[in-house]
Structure 1
């Protein structure tokens, strides 16, 4: 089974909840974790990864290159570039800024000298594999600065994780999605069996979780909700009302607990660092519901 954990809004505690759920499920199920936030991965930190065992480069992004020897310096490429990434260097040559080039090839289309401007494939990032200190594998990725294709990185992560699942006889893939509803999230949600949404009782979080829920609906996947920091805004009932109206089961509510940020500073799941905290009590109950309603159900 492939379970994706998403939130829409960043900062609602998705990765900390994911880490604690993995900790609670690891002894009963054969798991693999996927950190699908290629721009800012941190799940490995919470799971005690100190060294990556294997690393693969992802090649696929394209950037423009200008041949200064055949360039006639007409300036058309610079004028037409929609991203304003072509500049003139100290020697008078037209040069492409690699960090802002999107590989659209407008410059190549308007260049009057055939072959002067070409598109070159470059590295978008890396995909890495490690074993967590809890014994289960994790796949993560790191997007290079200024590179596109974060969604393709996530897709490749999941493909690698699926291959490992088959080779090692693993049962479940837990995908920690990025925030937002962009390419990374679409790649994370696509192909999953179930989506668990994390939200907090605030207007901003409600707005964003509604948006990511539309992505989940697009793929026809069942969704469940966990309310984190559930007691920070007692008068805000719209999140629960929305879930009820949409028929989204609420797996549980986690109260605001200072042990969570403290555990993150210790680079540990809060269920391990502070097992007697209120948050840990809540996440245990949520894990039991996941076992009964999602995994066994």
Structure 2
């Protein structure tokens, strides 16, 4: 089973809750974790990963290169570049800023000297594997600065995770999605068996989780909801009303608890660092519901 955890909004506690759920599930099930936020991966930190055992480069992004020897310095490429990625260096050469170049090839199309500007493939980032301190494997990725293809990195992560599941006879993949509804999230939810949505009782979080739910609906996956920081806005009832109207079961509510940021400083799931805290007790109940209602 693939379980994708998403939210639409950043900062609502996806990684915190994912790490805690993995902690509770690890003793009963053979798991693999996937940190599908290639732009800001952090799940490995909470699971005690210090070093990555294996890294694989992902090549796929394209950037423009200007041949300074054949360039006639007409400046048309710089004028037409939609991203302002071409500049003149100290020696008077037209040069491409690789951090902002999107590989659209407008410069190559408008250049009057054939072959002077060409697109070259470069590294987009790395996909990496490690074993957590709890014994189960984790796949993560790191997107290079200014590079596209975060969605392809996540797809590569999941493909690698599937192979490891076959090799080690693992049962379940738990995917910690990125914020938003972009390429990374689409890749995270694609192929999942169930989506667990995380939201907090605020208008911004409700709006974003509704957008994330539309992506879930596109893939026709069953969805569940966890309300995090459930007591920070007692008068806000629209999140629960929306879930009820859409028929989305609420797995549980996690109260705001200062033990969570303290556990993050310790680089531990809150359920391990402070097992008797309010948040840990709520997460334990949620894990039991996931065992009974989702995993079975």
TM-score where L is the length of structure 2 = 0.99
Query: In the TM superposition, what is the alpha-carbon distance from 1:150 to its structure 2 partner?
Result: 0.4
Query: In the TM superposition, what is the alpha-carbon distance from 1:52 to its structure 2 partner?
Result: 0.5
CA distance in 1, matches of 2:135, 2:118: 46
Which residue of structure 1 aligns with residue 92 of structure 2? Answer: 92
CA distance in 1, matches of 2:82, 2:89: 19
Matched position secondary structure for 1:214: helix
Which residue of structure 2 aligns with residue 249 of structure 1? Answer: 249
Which residue of structure 1 aligns with residue 5 of structure 2? Answer: 5
Which residue of structure 1 aligns with residue 288 of structure 2? Answer: 288
Which residue of structure 2 aligns with residue 122 of structure 1? Answer: 122
Which residue of structure 2 aligns with residue 167 of structure 1? Answer: 167
Query: In the TM superposition, what is the alpha-carbon distance from 1:13 to its structure 2 partner?
Result: 0.8
CA displacement, residues 19-47 of structure 1 (integer Å, 9 cap, x when unaligned): 00000000000000000000110000000
CA displacement, residues 67-124 of structure 1 (integer Å, 9 cap, x when unaligned): 0000111111111111010001111111000000000000001111111000000000
- Whether 1:150 aligns to 2:189 is no
CA distance in 1, matches of 2:274, 2:155: 34
Within 5 A, what are the aligned runs for 1:137-286? Answer: 137-286=137-286
Matched position secondary structure for 1:231: coil
Give unmatched runs, 5+ long, in structure 2.
none
Matched position secondary structure for 2:231: coil
- Whether 1:24 aligns to 2:8 is no
Which residue of structure 1 aligns with residue 49 of structure 2? Answer: 49
CA distance in 2, matches of 1:187, 1:51: 26
Give unmatched runs, 5+ long, in structure 1.
none
Query: In the TM superposition, what is the alpha-carbon distance from 1:149 to its structure 2 partner?
Result: 0.5
Matched position secondary structure for 2:252: strand
Matched position secondary structure for 2:59: strand
CA distance in 1, matches of 2:83, 2:32: 39
Which residue of structure 2 aligns with residue 105 of structure 1? Answer: 105
CA distance in 1, matches of 2:39, 2:21: 23
Matched position secondary structure for 2:133: coil
TM-score where L is the length of structure 1 = 0.99
Query: In the TM superposition, what is the alpha-carbon distance from 1:141 to its structure 2 partner?
Result: 0.4
Query: In the TM superposition, what is the alpha-carbon distance from 1:242 to its structure 2 partner?
Result: 0.2
